[in-house]
Amino acid sequence: MNMKFGFLTVNGLEDMFIAVLKNCKSSIFLKKIHAQIVKFSLTQSSYLVTKMVEICDKIGEIEYANLLFKQVEHPNNYLYNSIIRAYTHKHRYISCINVYKQMMTCAISPDEYTYPFVIRSCSAILRVDVGEQFHVHVCKFGLYCSNVIANSLLDMYVKCDRMRDAHMVFDEMSDRDVISWNSLICGHVRLRQVRKARALFDVMPDKSIVSWTAMISGYTKTGCYGDALDVFRRMQMVGVKPDWISLVSVLPACAQLGALELGKWIHFYADKYGYLRKTSVCNALMEMYAKCGSVNEAWQLFNQMSERDVISWSTMIGGLANHGRAQEALKLFHEMQRSAVEPNEITFVGLLCACAHAGLCDDGLRYFDSMKNDYNIEPGIEHYGCLVDILGRTGRLERALAIIKTMPVKPDSAIWGSLLSSCRTHRNLEIAVIAMEHLLELEPEDTGNYILLANIYADLGKWDGVSRMRKFIRSKSMKKTPGCSLIEINSLVQEFLSGDNSKPFSKDIHEVLELLALHQSKENDLVDTTLEYLSP
């Protein structure tokens, strides 16, 4: 690299090198320029080294930037800020904090460009204790009026679950922007404090797509699916176009509520704006279709995906399994193995569910053992629940009970309830009583368990046991949890509860139901009187 400098002054040389460095885009070119800087004895120029560190930051040469910085005996404020920023970009958060400490030791005053990065480092490693010290320094150096610094402090307190301190920073800000509001809202959402998030959201002057998406996500995660759909519709009404993150956030609510029409609209929207290229969007759509009973649409989307991750395969396997298409689910798993995609714990939940629905006990046991032996996946309570279901459906109740007793995790009510249900199918009163004893501890107020045990007594002709269950239910003044169903009409999800006559046209609905029941009675001439007999 040939360069002619003539009789330039030091400042002139620095300006010349800066001009050359502006076009530097590779480490090789940078090192050639550095060699010339060494030749002209300018390695102590904070001005030049700062520019070189910035280039190292852009091209990913953080170690070279570190060497350049350490060669300067008296770095100035700009060079310190440059290396701090570079460390933060490369996730070298401890190094970033250590450089700040060195800066303070050398009596170099930090400025408004220093603190956003050192505070971000504290957020990343959740060192709120260090962040609090930076907060004190910000006040000491009179930089609290900086909106960027205030937002950095706010974000740090939020990420460290210090919402009271976050609100204190927020309240003291003279100029809150959308980032300030979103930080608080997202913090409350992450902690599942949806009411507090909504209170902020409602008074927020200018809402961004992040604000809307945070509320949708918060409602979905806390099971308030109707509210999630309501916020999603309001977002569209005010003219805010959903992005792919919004779609991924609202689709689980569609899945849970059976809002298939809205889900189909989201599919069309995602296709129109190119969001189907996002694997996560396709995965959420597949789950929505599967849970809404449209497994064929899920399968079609799965086959159209250009890239599939483990969630894609697991979602499709689970969808097929839950719709009784066990052989297809198992076949898809073998295809997943051939595609060299490593299964995870969700994959095996789907596999075990498929085996349970198809009565494939030996296959289920083999897959359960394969989890740990072949893939080093420790079975969780969901896997044990599926295994108990498999054994229960095939009548191996003693082995199911033995597995429950030796589980490394405490069995929940779903597992004992599954065993109790299997006991009715296979008329096993002894194990049913054992299951019921545990359910009494876990769900003492669940009437369904008592009714199920009473039905087992009835199936075996033990009417004294039926009588005892009825008396017990009445003595506790228990009421059966009313049945609930959901239906989507004109893009609105309607919920119906047993015994609730508050819906419009309730009388007409009951008349239609009576006609259907009469028609069914004539067809089958079968009336199940068991539940009526047991009702308290």
Q: Which two tokens stand for residue 145?
A: 């009026």
Q: Give a yes or no: residue 51 inside a domain.
A: no
3-class secondary structure per residue, 171-198: HHCCCCCHHHHHHHHHHHHHCCCHHHHH
Q: Give a yes or no: residue 511 inside a domain.
A: no
- CA 184/CA 218 separation, integer angstroms: 13
Q: Give a yes or no: residue 238 inside a domain.
A: yes
- CA 213/CA 61 separation, integer angstroms: 36
What domain range is 240 assigned to? 177-288
Q: Give a yes or no: residue 419 inside a domain.
A: no
Q: Is the CB of residue 187 less than 8 Å from the CB of residue 166?
A: yes
Q: Tokens 């369904």 correspond to what residue?
A: 448
pLDDT tens for the chain, 536 residues: list them.
444 445 567 788 888 888 888 888 899 999 999 999 998 889 899 999 999 999 999 999 999 999 999 999 999 999 999 999 999 999 999 999 999 999 999 999 999 999 999 999 999 999 999 999 999 999 999 888 889 999 999 999 999 999 999 999 999 998 899 999 999 999 999 999 999 999 999 999 999 999 999 999 999 999 999 999 999 999 999 999 999 999 999 999 999 999 999 999 999 999 999 999 999 999 999 999 999 999 999 999 999 999 999 999 999 999 999 999 999 999 999 999 999 999 999 999 999 999 998 889 999 999 999 999 999 999 999 999 999 999 999 899 999 999 999 999 899 999 998 998 888 888 888 888 888 888 888 887 777 777 777 878 787 787 877 787 777 677 655 555 555 565 655 555 566 655 566 666 667 777 777 777 777 665 555 434 443 434 43
For 365, counting Cβ atoms within 10 Å of its Cβ (0-12 exposed, 13-18 middle, 19+ buried), the class is middle
Q: Which two tokens stand for residue 94?
A: 């401890």
Q: Is the CB of residue 440 less than 8 Å from the CB of residue 413?
A: no
Report the candidate in 176, 173, 222 with the shortest Cα–Cα distance to residue 197. 222
Report the candidate in 334, 313, 379, 448 with the shortest Cα–Cα distance to residue 388. 379
* Secondary structure class of 487 (helix, strand, coil): strand
Considering just the CA atoms, what is the radius of gyration of the chain in Å?
32
Q: Give a yes or no: residue 204 inside a domain.
A: yes
Q: Give a yes or no: residue 397 inside a domain.
A: no
Q: Give a yes or no: residue 143 inside a domain.
A: no
Q: Is the CB of residue 423 less than 8 Å from the CB of residue 449?
A: no
- CA 443/CA 505 separation, integer angstroms: 36
CATH of the domain at 209: 1.25.40.10
Q: Give a yes or no: residue 267 inside a domain.
A: yes
How many domains are there within the chain? 1
